[in-house]
A = this chain, B = another copy of it.
């Protein structure tokens, strides 16, 4: 996981909304897209970025593509932050 790619992925409101929806469980690309007022292809673009960041992963079933959160990356991020709040100032 690259923190660069991950933070870039999280820096867009549409992408944060997507991961919020995925908190409730896996969804198909189409179902995700239908929640937004932007073009289908735009959501596909955002899903690709989220996938590259490993924040989500895909599963193909029939001709659907389902997406779900990859929680282990969120835990890595928690760790990144706790480095600041934790108190150890040792490199």
Contact = CB atoms under 8 A, between A and B. Distances in A.
B23 A89 contact: yes
A75 B78 CA distance: 10
20 contacts: A3-B16, A7-B7, A7-B10, A7-B16, A10-B10, A11-B11, A19-B84, A23-B83, A23-B84, A23-B89, A24-B89, A69-B84, A71-B84, A74-B81, A74-B85, A77-B81, A78-B78, A78-B81, A78-B82, A78-B85
Q: Is the interface of A mostly helix, strand, loop or mixed?
A: helix
Nearest to A71: B85
A71 B4 CA distance: 21
Interface string A42-82: 00000000000000000000000000010100110110011
